[in-house]
Structure 1
Amino acid sequence: MPSTEEERRPGLLERTFDRLLLRNTRVAAVQQVSERFRLIDLEGEALKGAAWAPGHKLQVKVAGPFTARTFTPIVFDVMRGRTRLLGYAHGAGPGSDWLRRVQVGDACQVFGPHRSLALGDLAGPVVLHGDETSFGLAAAVVAAMAGREGPRCVFEVESRAESALALQALGVATAVLVERRDEALRMQAASELWSQCSGDGTLFVLTGRAQSIQQARQALKARGVPGSRIVSKAYWAPGKAGMD
């Protein structure tokens, strides 16, 4: 019977995958923003020169074999080889476990960055609809729109107080927070925001929970918003793991 150490040793296929496709980084900083939110800085020579734009994704190997979780980098310094992620430890699982235990100096392998959302040049107004998994994207868009009016956001969240702390740390100022259990209030808040913006060429960005995205897309189309002004990406759905 193999020992515990042998059971944990990566197999040939996993080692080959890691060597050929993953970038080696180290954890440069960890900041606990609240009970469940953590800001994590990764750095490494392998990140230098990477092709990145707001909305791109970075997959972090959190366990093995082939166990990764996807994050939306807030910033990506391709000259220094450094990026910042916001993690949300929302329950039990490999991703949340990694967020709770990660420490400065830890080795970390990543895959990407890769294109996830096609946001374009962000030249016009932007409205974001999402949840806690969308906060990193919101911060990236705020940074990309520096010097102009930033995105207007409505987020469904588990805790308004904890989410407000995370958004404050990220510099995301214009956000409406509605607790997830209040479905009617969430749609009302989104509808009020859309009514202020739907006629001015606004880009509507829908991310987070798959069901909420579907509802939001249907509501926007019912208002006459053309599909060309709606971009979406489901980050998660109840009962499904590994979505990005």
Structure 2
Amino acid sequence: MPAPNPKPIRTGRKPVTIASVDKALAVVEHLLAVDAEGVSLSRLAVDTGINKSSLHHILATLRQRRWVEQDESGRYRLGPMTGRMATWWTSANQAASMLHPVLLAICERTHELVHLGRLYERDVVYLDKVEPDRPVRVWSRIGQSAPVATTAMGRAILGARQPSAAEVETWVSLVPEASAELRGRLTEEMQRVQSHGYAIEIGEDRPSLACVGVPLAVAGVPVLAISATMPVERADLPHLRQIADVIHECIAAADVESISVPVTLAD
């Protein structure tokens, strides 16, 4: 006779946790806030409240599984496995599923066409969209790509990532027949992202359309953006700012796990 299935553990107070797993996850979560220089074992022990002996064993296990790496000076930082997790979180289906309700909320409040995009190598790729009830003179499809330097979503992501001058030149060079003003416009919009929390383009990607974009970070890395698209006739700066406000508010209200806005909306 087969053994009966074990009953689930019930404490009546709080879920049962495994201390070693909880501590390991606490270490990974703390390292999310550590820069590329890493952190020493002593500092990490103080910050996490885990004694050095236990922490050393936890880090050794995390290193073996490539969640953590250690440099020649003995400092610790996140390892390549966390990048794979971020890639999973930002996969087309996963990102679209998590953020679709946010797009619906933005569209309902703005009555504009709303897109979700992700930075894929050379381009921004549309992952999802929500169309308003009123007609919008724009054609787009999920899976479509667009230049990073000329789109509000691309500019928003780059503004949050703060690329070097050489990297900016590379992004501009990827635009076919780029105008002489493009480098200056891209730099201006990246600065707007840092100072105001959003980027815009008015008739630069498509002559009859304008967009405002807000960057999104997954596990602290800016790789996504949400934009609202409208005819240039409605795209004065106060209106674009109002829509940026709505995008920020809808993202904050949704409180999607591991998704954040890496910039602050200026007053």
Same fold (TM over 0.5): no
Which structure features the higher share of strand residues?
Answer: 1
> Which is richer in helix?
2
Structure 1 length-normalised TM: 0.31
